[in-house]
Amino acid sequence: MALELGVVPPRTGEEFDGDVRQGPRLVKALEMIAPGTALREGLDNILDARTGGLIIIGDPEELSFLYSGGIKLDVDYTPALVYQVAKMDGGIVLNANATKIALANVQFMPDPTILSSETGTRHRTAERVSKQTDALVIAISQRRQVVSLYIDGGKYPLEDIPVVLAKGNQALATLDKYRTRLDQVSTRLTALEFEGGATLHDVLTVLQRSELVTRMAVEIERYIVELGTEGRLIEMQLEETMVGTAAEKAALVHDYLADHSDDAFATALDQIGRLAHQDLLDFGRIAELLGYDRKLNTLDYPVSPRGYRILGRIPRLPKLVVAQIVKEFGGLDELLAANDAELESVEGVGEIRAKDIREGLRRLQEINLVDRYLQT
């Protein structure tokens, strides 16, 4: 979990927002200071004592050009010890994984020409150091009792645990609604696939909902990281809500991608994940990523699945066998029309597995009918 450090060109400071909040370096930083960690305990001790503090986490040697004075310690980190050295006027330097206190009572001298939007001396120094280096900087306000993280010139104020918990639970409730809607449109698509009446609009609706669910889950995951040991219940609820979602989305892309190749599949899945939120609401743009003309009338454009999604729901059916079946028959319609001998002849299937597949497809049709009835 060590952060890569070094002197870098100065960056423009800003509050973390939107996708930046999901940045890997910020997530790693939140993991380091989450409730239940030794570093968070030390920060809480400093907050309770109202002493304030400035802590830089990085390679002490690479950051040495910033130092003026200070006491070299090079001792193992403990919450009690970092609390004691924070009583001094200067800042503290921890090694990259925050397991050692390298220096204490250090005056940091970043480039004074770097622009800073902060007014306080401690926070202005923290912002400039984060712009000038790749270090993680933690500024603890003495008066306002706020802990602020500075990474790559961006500022992220830590919120109180009850506030983060409330946001996490609210996001979880939104995710539950998204998942319910996803299940509804997915059930409808499954019925249309068995009947041979699916349209591109039905497919894009499910794909859009799958991506919305995935993005909401990513947001909740960041809250879980920030909550640390306090976020276990939310994590359990998230895992239960997200069961099968990623596999279903991948199978859906496999089923309806115009260019049926591994490279095209990986590219399409990546591009869908990178779509701006506004583009995700545009069915023409999503259709384009699947290889269709974005000007198509998706409501009237018939499509037929290859069968990955339906076959993936049959228990104990390996992905390699699914791929062989799709390769052999080319589509779900052809698979449903195939006789027992044709299905048994597929590599990896055989008589017993062919029977399981037939039974699995029949049960899926029955379950789908029941689900549609319950949703009406």
Low-confidence ranges of the chain (pLDDT < 50): 1-21
Alpha-carbon gap, residue 304 to 68, rounded angstroms? 69
pLDDT at 373: 58
Q: How many domains is the chain built from?
A: 3
CATH number at residue 328: 1.10.150.20
**In terms of domains, do 167 and 301 share one?**
yes
Single-letter residue type at 356: D
What mean pLDDT, rounded, does the chain reach? 90
Residue 2 within a domain: no
**In terms of domains, do 272 and 206 share one?**
yes
Full domain range(s) for residue 76: 14-158
pLDDT one-digit tens code per residue, 162-195: 999 999 999 999 999 999 999 999 999 999 999 9
**In terms of domains, do 180 and 78 share one?**
no
pLDDT one-digit tens code per residue, 308-349: 999 999 988 999 999 999 999 999 999 999 888 999 999 999
Helices of type H across 144-229: 161-195, 200-227
**In terms of domains, do 122 and 26 share one?**
yes
> Is the separation of the CB atoms in 274 and 170 below 8 Å?
no
**In terms of domains, do 187 and 55 share one?**
no
Residue 368 within a domain: yes
Q: Is 115 exposed, middle or buried (0-12, 13-18, 19+ CB in 10 A)?
A: exposed
Last residue of a domain, one of 107, 129, 158: 158
Round the CA-based radius of gyration of the chain to a whole number and report it: 27
Last residue of a domain, one of 305, 331, 347: 305
**In terms of domains, do 198 and 290 share one?**
yes
Last residue of a domain, one of 138, 158, 178: 158
**In terms of domains, do 247 and 280 share one?**
yes
How far is residue 233 CA from its own chain's centroid? 18
**In terms of domains, do 127 and 48 share one?**
yes
pLDDT at 92: 97
In degrees and rounded to multiples of 5, residue 360 shows phi and psi of -65, -45
For the record, the structure tokens of 350 come out as: 């055989």
Question: In terms of Cα–Cα distance, which of 207, 227, 218 is closest to 172?
Answer: 218
**In terms of domains, do 164 and 87 share one?**
no
Length of the chain: 376
**In terms of domains, do 116 and 217 share one?**
no
H-run or E-run covering 363: helix 350-375
Helix and strand numbers (H, E) in the chain are 16, 9
CATH number at residue 40: 3.40.1700.10
For the record, the structure tokens of 32 come out as: 């380091």
Question: In terms of Cα–Cα distance, which of 367, 334, 340, 332 is closest to 356?
Answer: 340
pLDDT at 372: 62
pLDDT at 371: 63
Residue 9 within a domain: no
> Is the separation of the CB atoms in 98 and 57 below 8 Å?
yes
Task: Please list, residue by residue across 12-34, b when 16 or more beta carbons sit within 10 angstroms of its beta carbon and e when fewer do.
Answer: ebeebeeeebebeebeebbebbb
**In terms of domains, do 284 and 213 share one?**
yes
Cα angle 14-19-25, degrees, rounded to a multiple of 5: 75
Alpha-carbon gap, residue 279 to 147, rounded angstroms? 36
**In terms of domains, do 264 and 196 share one?**
yes
> Is the separation of the CB atoms in 137 and 150 below 8 Å?
yes
